[in-house]
Amino acid sequence: MNKQRKILAINGSYRAGGVTDQAVSGILDNLKALDVDVEHIKLRDYPVEFCMNCRECMQQPGDSPGRCVLNDGMADLVQKIENADGYVLAAPTNFSSVTALFKRFSERLAVYGYWPWGKPAPQFRKDKMPKKPAIIISSCAAPGVLGKLTYGTNRNLKIAAKTIGGRVVGSMVTGLMSQERAQQLPPQAQRRIKALAPRLLPSH
């Protein structure tokens, strides 16, 4: 029944096998076990350039993402976002916010805004569209509660989710994640992952 459902994960961690990779893979493994089609995009392996703030992509009206003037992997990634039924958006906290890797990607989500010259502020193209479920995942060296309350990481991830037409149905902030070189997710995080994954399914 879930075979046709596609969940796209976009991961802004620099570190292969780190805490973010473990958490995202955990969510996706749980979904695979429920017959869901999943894809894990690691931004560190994906060719996404910096936005040039030219706003060309924001001039075209309509619900569909605008066309960016840059010719890199972003057009392909936007197509994957459009085709997905739900999202996992993830990034560790670096210097109190998402990584620059995730921020670079999220600034390219300008294609999801309509902001013609002469207007003071953009409109979100997906504002009036049905929302797709999204889970946001972050981690930090600080205790989790402190990280959730004081860092911009979750706010950055939420804005990215809203921009692509997502509705956040769950989040996980894992704290105290920097004392070991090969840090492993603790058992309570594994349990949280198991509980979160089904929230991306329609029956939930």
| Smallest separation (angstroms) from ligand FMN to the CB of 151 | 6
| Smallest separation (angstroms) from ligand FMN to the CB of 40 | 13
Residues touching ligand FMN, count (CB under 6 A) = 17
User: Which is nearest to 22 in space by CA: 144, 184, 200?
Assistant: 184
Which of 2, 7, 8, 20 touches ligand FMN by CB under 6 A? 20
If binding is defined by CB under 6 A, does position 176 make contact with ligand FMN? Answer: no
User: Which is nearest to 189 in space by CA: 43, 21, 1?
Assistant: 21
Task: With beta carbons less than 8 A apart as the criterion, state whether 87 and 141 touch.
Answer: no
User: Which is nearest to 8 in space by CA: 151, 128, 134?
Assistant: 134
| Smallest separation (angstroms) from ligand FMN to the CB of 96 | 4
Rg (CA), the chain: 17
Which of 60, 123, 178, 190 touches ligand FMN by CB under 6 A? 178
Which of 59, 64, 79, 96 touches ligand FMN by CB under 6 A? 96
Residues between 103 and 142 that touch ligand FMN (CB under 6 A): 139-142
60 contacts: CB under 8 Å, gap ≥ 6: 66, 67, 114
Nearer to ligand FMN, 139 or 163 (CB): 139
If binding is defined by CB under 6 A, does position 12 make contact with ligand FMN? Answer: no
Cα three-residue angle 157-160-161, rounded to 5 degrees: 85
| Smallest separation (angstroms) from ligand FMN to the CB of 164 | 22
